[in-house]
Chains A and B, each alone.
Chain A
Amino acid sequence: MRGGFPAQGAGGRLARALLVFPVGMLVVFFVVPLIMMFVVSFYRNLPGAGWEPAFTLENYVRAFSRGLYRDRLVYTLEISALNAVLCLLIGYPFTYYLVRLASPFWRKVGLTLSISTLWLTYVVRSYAWSVLLSATSGVGQLLMWLGLVDRPTGYTPGPVATVVGLVYVFLPFMILSLYGSLRAIDPSMEEASMNLGARPWRTFLHVVLPLSLPGAAAGAVMVFLLTMGNYVVPSILGQPAQWTMPVIITNQVMNESNVPFGAAMSVILLAVLGLLAYATGRLVGKARVNPYAGSRVAQGGEGA
């Protein structure tokens, strides 16, 4: 609240009346649909005829008892974790180099280029890789031209394409998160470390890495959670073996018209995401409060 704007009186009443619009929108078109999804997840599916209001656990039973859906959930967790690790490994040295570019102009250009694909629809970004990894264009031709293969081979759709596509799509998020935390490290801290006799490598290990840990952790968590919710990349670049939970859910809803089952799996996915977000949020959140806490976490890890 700001001083001087009277809480009482016509102005205050009008202001609060205006709030009905955004809050109403959020309640009716955000909260209520989520509740509806939860309710529908207990309904009974009528094949070809929508659903029937009921209270049945059969959708949840199906999701947990069939190996297929359990496997998909586990696979989704695995590939999301893999993607988070890959993005971190690729993004860290890249961002560190970017942050330490002497010229502010080139730093800005580098950052802009590296995150320029952030806003572009997943469809186009996945499609670009399906062109690049296909037999007739890009990599297939390149490998044949190099004499590494006899005839052009395609890698899409498949596991390689899926992983490459996921890294491609989510790397900008990682770079953005790392950029913030690496940029916040005063270069004079590195200079101080070297002045005290630490070689560059040790300086990095003892100063830069601990201080950038919160940003790295936040980036990894973000990539992990975003990957878990992504539909487009695995469905364009993957075969059924690479389909993640969002693909399974969408297929149920759109192709099988089984909304109750799709809703039940959505509730399960939301619960898993919520638990993971809560757990990692506590971990990352603690480290984030204080930029120096990162180093304490690292030390605690050594000590424990």
Chain B
Amino acid sequence: MSRVDLVQVTKTYPGGVKAVDGVSLTVEAGEFMTLLGPSGCGKTTSLRMIAGFEQPDSGQVLIGGKDVTRVPPYERDTGMVFQSLALFPHMSVLDNVMYGLRMRRVPRPEAEARAKEMLALVQLAGYEQRRPHQLSGGQRQRVAFARALAVNPSIFLLDEPFAALDAKLRDELQVELRRLQQRLRITTVFVTHNQREAMTLSDRVAVMRDGRVEQVGTPQEVYEEPATVFVAGFVGMTNLFKGHVVAQDGGFVRVRTAEGFEIAGRPPRTNGAPPQALAPGQPVTVSVRPEALRLVQAGAAGAVGEAGAVGEAGTPTARESGEAAGESNGTGGIPVRVDMVRFVGELVEYHLFTPGGQEILCTYQRGQAAPAVGQGAQALVRVEPGEARVLWQ
């Protein structure tokens, strides 16, 4: 168990593409860190630099505080699970898991015992003599885990290992991976472009874009307090409104959007730096999560009925009556037209359009009192107080 440090690491590929651009990142000992970002953001290159398959042009890679920048991959003591899994097709499962131990000159009986122990840990006892192609997708995945962990590496690296699996199996293996990681308390770096995967697995997430780290934080921080417009858009769904600062009072910043509506939101994350005052007129973007928007019928104060309460429109529910009347942030609702209502299992999605043509997404949890507005209806959309976040452009 060791920590990993990337110090001002830069890697330019031939042709001038900067794959990684001055990345500094620390993964604490025993921590599960996910590098999250779209393809080409530099997350895989960063991982491969930790493993030693790529050398940075400048900067340092430290494992356990020791500079390993020039150490070849076979002397680094990392255990990696590849995207293709890279199980050796010409070896049995046992030989695959033993491979790293044999390379470390562990005597055969000992290596075999250790490999069997690892296979038992991933619930594959009895599969020792199979060939990889005789296993199911999930079983192959577990062999890859066992092989990477059999050598008891100081760092566990995973490069999108679940990309090829179907959703159900992926969920199962994610839980299994997390359990394995917590049990072994091994420092883990996980690469994915799937934000849901990143949120559910990680202690901390590093969101990357164009070779840079945009934000590092716990899944909750990254979701609730995105540092940039990119992070807000990439991690979960969000509605973004461009606009200008009107005033800052108390804990809230009032922003007038391009269409002329006013939204109040919490000021940008400062990342520990002293808060910077937002001057009126400063261009900003407001991010509002779909679940933070509430829908009320246009014209009527709090007059959207409960779902299922057909014919009872106009009967105010407890929640809506209070808020709709209050306009608590001093901002009015945004008038919208309901374009489509979709039932997505646990959610109800409302696809809305502002008069200026901006699409807005608003969701209600199943069991929440969803408003009974149909396609084509006019309505007002309001922001739950404190749920909007103002971001630098």
Contacts and interface: CB of A to CB of B under 8 A. Distances in A.
Whether chain A touches chain B in the assembled complex (some CB pair under 8 Å) = yes
Interface of A: 3-4, 6
Contacts of A6: 72
Interface range, B side: under 10
Contacts of B53: 3-4
8 contacts: A3-B48, A3-B53, A3-B54, A4-B52, A4-B53, A4-B72, A4-B73, A6-B72
Contacts of A3: 48, 53-54
A11 to B, nearest CB: 10
A3 B54 CA distance: 6
Nearest to A7: B55
Contacts of B73: 4
B68 to A, nearest CB: 14
Given A3-B48, A4-B52, 6 more contacts: A3-B53, A3-B54, A4-B53, A4-B72, A4-B73, A6-B72
A7 to B, nearest CB: 10
At the interface, is chain A mostly helix, strand, loop or mixed?
loop
A6 B75 CA distance: 13
Contacts of B72: 4, 6
Interface string B70-83: 00110000000000
Interface in B115-174: none
A3 B53 CA distance: 5
B132 to A, nearest CB: 21
Contacts of B48: 3
Nearest to A6: B72
A4 B53 CA distance: 5
A6 B72 CA distance: 8
A4 B54 CA distance: 7
A4 B82 CA distance: 14
A151 B73 CA distance: 81
A3 B48 CA distance: 9
Nearest to B73: A4
Contacts of B52: 4
Interface string B48-74: 100011100000000000000000110
A117 B54 CA distance: 49
B204 to A, nearest CB: 27
A3 B51 CA distance: 11
A6 B73 CA distance: 10
Query: 8 closest A-B pairs (Cβ-Cβ)?
Result: A3-B53, A4-B53, A4-B73, A6-B72, A3-B54, A3-B48, A4-B52, A4-B72
Nearest to A11: B72
A104 B13 CA distance: 45
B206 to A, nearest CB: 22
Nearest to A9: B72
A48 to B, nearest CB: 60
B113 to A, nearest CB: 30
Interface in B264-280: none
A34 to B, nearest CB: 33
Nearest to B72: A6
Nearest to B52: A4
A6 B54 CA distance: 10
Interface in B158-205: none
A3 B73 CA distance: 10
B157 to A, nearest CB: 14
A198 B54 CA distance: 55
A6 B74 CA distance: 11
B367 to A, nearest CB: 45
Contacts of B54: 3
Interface string B279-304: 00000000000000000000000000
A4 B78 CA distance: 14
Interface in B33-55: 48, 52-54
Nearest to B54: A3
